[in-house]
Amino acid sequence: MSSRLLFVLRGLALAAAYGLGWWLLWRMSELYWFLPAGLRFGVLLLAPYRYWPFVFLGEWTTFGLMNAPLTWLGPLGFALDTFPHVLVCAAVVRALRGAWPHVRLEAPEDVVHLLVGALLAAVAVTAANALVLQVVDIQEEASLSYTLLTYSLGDYLGIMLLLPLMILLLHARPDAARLRALLRHVLLLLLPAIGLLYALADTEPSLAQYARTLMLVPVVYFAFRHGVRGAALAMLAASIAVAAGAGMAHRADAPAEAQMFLAVAGTASLLLGSAIEALRASGERLALQNARLEGTNVRLDQLAQSLREVARRNLRLEEEERRSLAAELHDELGQNLTAIQTRVKLAHERLHAAGLSDVATSINDILATMRRTVRSLLNTLRPSVLDEFGLYRALAEGPVRDMLGAAGVGYTAHLHGDPTLIDDDTRTAIYRIAQEAATNTVRHARARNFHLRVRVSPHAGRTVVLLDLSDDGVGLPDTPPVTGRYGLQGMRDRVLALDGAMRIRTGPAGTRLRVLLRLPTREPTAVATLNAKAA
């Protein structure tokens, strides 16, 4: 079978199905709403352009068969009453599809496009009806304006009631869970509301009007609970119930008030349902993004923890190397210097007898200078006081105090808390930071006083360490000097390796450095030697 023949067969099948649906809906339509207008608009909106001629054929054929007794109007009148409606609607749909290429109901903007298109189509087809009435000279019992109002509202309601369901069935069929929830709410809420409407339909007019107004309750609920899909289904059911409950005898003139009520209620419910659905989708996207961000944050935390562990391991290895180097210098170089000094003392009398006592004195002076230099180097590499007497005594009485005192800088240290709560890496980092801060004060600050405060305290299951260092010097320059490995950047590296925070405040009144560390709780050691170190 050729593709052209297949296309023609499909088109004829579409024309037949469309004509049958148009006829069935026309038989069910009353003056409140004109459902064939909704079918016409929906098929033109959803069908490819190449099938439009078959849509025209199906409507014209069906309408001609239904209105064969109207041939007394003459060929022109019959043609005017038969052909223009679908052509006018097609023109509006063509313009709408140009502005709305993807026919969906996923956002409030989509519902606005649908409702604007429905209103334009209803008004355009009604205008065509007005021209037909003028040309054919058909007299209506009601005024022309009232008739045109009811026609336009009827077409608008027909489009509004059918088109959302057609779009949703074609592009967004509900899954099993949503369908079960929708059916459950139909049974629990919508059907009882329709039953109440029928029960009050034959009572006083005020109660009947009240019952019709109550039909808005399930419509609004369905819009909130099920979005556009629920609003469209509930509005269709409510409209049918309102129209049927009013009684056929009371609808001969199709009151525009009822049509306006249905039009406003349907428009509001569709907009509300689309807004709720968009809000729900936005919430789901936000939850998904939050879940992804949470996963990313977990991975970043793991990476940061790994980096901190690597940094701590590197610092630990460096301290071990410095300790090893300090031991080598102390054992080898210190012993050699002692041996040289001993030999010089042994040769002192001979040198004095030979008139070379000044040489012996010079050699002793050089050896003393070398010893001081080696001792300073050893204190820089790994002060023995930190290992022998602990952190607090090393800070209060060790090389930091000696260096500041030699430079004429006053030194005060306030040490609070139990240092045995701190692990060895943290003790070393605190000492190194204090050592570098004191070095910067001596070299650059031109300060008269240097203050150090350390506070160790348990808090909320963790050990909190506060290190506060300040001087009354000239402050840091715009580009702070970096003295070797342990400048400001070295301090930051040590703090970051311990997952801490560091803040520097500088100005003409001096420089203040604060370090905050939060460490896992560590039970105080009971070893007497460590208690002695903390003293």
Q: Distance between CA atoms of 99 and 300, rounded to whole angstroms?
A: 45
Q: Is the pLDDT of residue 534 over 80?
A: no
Mean pLDDT of the chain: 80
Under DSSP, the state recorded for 330 is I
Give the largest CA-CA distance in the chain. Answer: 157
Q: Distance between CA atoms of 517 and 428, rounded to whole angstroms?
A: 13
Domain boundary among 121, 151, 168: 168
Q: Is the pLDDT of residue 71 over 60?
A: no
Question: What is the predicted pLDDT for the residue at 250?
Answer: 42
Q: What is the mean pLDDT of residues 260-284?
A: 87
Q: Is residue 511 part of a domain?
A: yes
Q: What is the mean pLDDT of residues 55-70?
A: 79
Q: 2: phi > 0 → left, psi -120 to 50 → alpha, else beta; which?
A: beta
Task: Classify each residue of 96-110 as buried b or exposed e, where b means 16 or more C-beta atoms within 10 Å of its C-beta.
Answer: bbeebeebebbbbeb
User: What φ, ψ does residue 428 adopt, rounded to 5°?
Assistant: -65, -40
Question: What is the predicted pLDDT for the residue at 137?
Answer: 58
Within a 10 A sphere around the Cβ of 406, how many other Cβ atoms?
A: 9
Q: Is residue 83 part of a domain?
A: yes
State both tokens at 63. Answer: 């309408």
Q: Is the pLDDT of residue 252 over 70?
A: no
Q: Which amino acid is at 70?
A: L
Q: What is the mean pLDDT of residues 293-307?
A: 88
Non-local CB neighbours of 272 within 8 Å, separated by 6+ positions: 220, 223, 224, 231
Picking from 44-53, 349-358, 469-478, which range would have the lowest pLDDT averaged per residue? 349-358
Q: How many CA atoms lie within 13 A of 268 on its CB side?
A: 11
User: What φ, ψ does residue 520 adopt, rounded to 5°?
Assistant: -60, 145
Give the tens place of pLDDT for each residue, 192-233. 877 776 676 666 666 666 666 777 788 888 888 888 888 888
Give the tens place of pLDDT for each residue, 101-143. 888 887 888 889 889 999 999 999 888 877 776 665 555 555 6
Q: Is the pLDDT of residue 524 over 80?
A: no
Q: Is the pLDDT of residue 528 over 50?
A: no
The whole model's pTM is what? 0.59
Q: Distance between CA atoms of 111 and 270, rounded to whole angstroms?
A: 7
Give the tens place of pLDDT for each residue, 498-514. 888 999 998 888 999 99
Domain boundary among 168, 196, 215: 168
Q: Distance between CA atoms of 286 and 406, rounded to whole angstroms?
A: 62
Q: Distance between CA atoms of 329 and 320, rounded to whole angstroms?
A: 14
pLDDT bin (cut points 50, 70, 90) of residue 254 is very low
Angstrom CA distances, 262 to 156, 240, 242, 243, 268, stand at: 10, 10, 9, 10, 10
DSSP-assigned states of every residue in 51-71 = GHHHHHHHHHHHHHHHTGGGG
Q: Is the pLDDT of residue 238 over 80?
A: no
Q: How many domains does the chain have?
A: 2
Picking from 23-32, 438-447, 483-492, which range would have the lowest pLDDT averaged per residue? 483-492
Write the CATH number for 435: 3.30.565.10
Q: Is residue 240 part of a domain?
A: no
Q: Is residue 369 part of a domain?
A: no
pLDDT bin (cut points 50, 70, 90) of residue 78 is low
pLDDT bin (cut points 50, 70, 90) of residue 450 is very high
Give the tens place of pLDDT for each residue, 371-409. 778 777 776 776 777 878 889 999 998 888 988 999 999
User: What percent of the chain has a predicted confidence (pLDDT) above 90?
Assistant: 24
Q: Is the pLDDT of residue 437 over 80?
A: yes
Non-local CB neighbours of 165 within 8 Å, separated by 6+ positions: 232, 233, 236
Q: Is residue 24 part of a domain?
A: yes
Q: Is the pLDDT of residue 460 over 60?
A: yes
3-state helix, strand, coil in the chain (%, to 5): 75, 10, 15
Could you tell me which residue, 297 or 73, shows the higher pLDDT? 297
3-state secondary structure of 3: helix
Q: Is the pLDDT of residue 269 over 70?
A: yes
Question: What is the predicted pLDDT for the residue at 533?
Answer: 45
Domain boundary among 117, 143, 168: 168
Picking from 24-33, 146-155, 277-286, which range would have the lowest pLDDT averaged per residue? 24-33
pLDDT bin (cut points 50, 70, 90) of residue 255 is low
Q: Is the pLDDT of residue 413 over 90?
A: yes
Q: Is residue 179 part of a domain?
A: no
Q: Is residue 192 part of a domain?
A: no
Give the tens place of pLDDT for each residue, 156-190. 988 988 888 888 888 777 777 877 887 888 888 77
pLDDT bin (cut points 50, 70, 90) of residue 51 is very high
Non-local CB neighbours of 336 within 8 Å, separated by 6+ positions: none
pLDDT bin (cut points 50, 70, 90) of residue 89 is very high
Q: Is residue 380 part of a domain?
A: no
Q: Which amino acid is at 82?
A: T
Q: Which domain holds residue 155?
A: 1-168
Q: Is the pLDDT of residue 356 over 90?
A: no
